[in-house]
Amino acid sequence: MPATTIGLDEAVELTRTGDLWVFRGRSMPDRAIQLTTNSPVNHVGMAVTIEDMPPLMWHAELGRSLPDLWSGAHQRGVQLHDLRAAVLVWARRYGQRAWLRQLDRPVSREQEDALLRTIARLDGTPFPSTAQLALRWLRGRVPAGLARTREENLETAYCAEVVAVTYQAMGLLPAGRRPHWYDPGRFWSGDELAFTGGFRLGEEIAVEIPPG
């Protein structure tokens, strides 16, 4: 990972809608995801900073430590959290390191509207079981020509799928890829995503977490 480091408050201040936050942990599930995806990260979330709202994180997780700001409830699965609070939970409670990756330009009002429609549609979607997660990751590796071509409605969703589906709805990623083709490793700089509209993501910026 690149050596550039900034503080959490500065990172939150710099974050714009569509920027990514990626995380790396040391637990056995974290290591399993890293090894399976051949990447140094195991979780990804997308920043949402619209109008007068505080910076938010749109992601999926098993825990329900924070209130979901869309539904107002504590829930597992796909959630919208206060960004700073979410990063602190992942850093302090889950023992994760955090990095910020920024889009090279702001998104448009139309893309923000597509984002909000996706949040309204997916918020509260359950997190998949371990078996479902493994099966969907394997299915995502099947060549597109050999897989079913029907559009799938996500009955469960994990973090990378949430980011991918949202990016597709916003027109940042092409719509041809199935959601479960994406894993956290697709969103770090060692992989190459085919963005549309000339967008691209910058390198990782390490975020220093203040002492608890």
161/167 Cα distance (integer angstroms): 10
- pLDDT given at position 127: 77
- Domains in the chain, CATH or no CATH each: 5-208 (3.90.1720.10)
Instruction: Note the pLDDT tens digit of each residue in 145-195.
Output: 444 433 345 677 889 999 999 999 999 999 888 888 898 889 998 788 889
> What is the pTM for the complete model shown?
0.86
Report yes or no: 55 and 84 within 8 Å, Cβ to Cβ.
yes
Evaluate if residue 110 carries a pLDDT over 50: yes
102/203 Cα distance (integer angstroms): 8
Evaluate if residue 38 carries a pLDDT over 70: no
Report yes or no: 141 and 38 within 8 Å, Cβ to Cβ.
no
- pLDDT given at position 51: 87
Amino acid code (one letter) for 176: G
Percent of the chain with pLDDT over 70: 80
Task: Supply the mean pLDDT for the chain.
Answer: 85
Whose tokens are 């770090």? That residue is 188
Burial class of residue 139, CB neighbours in 10 A (0-12, 13-18, 19+): middle
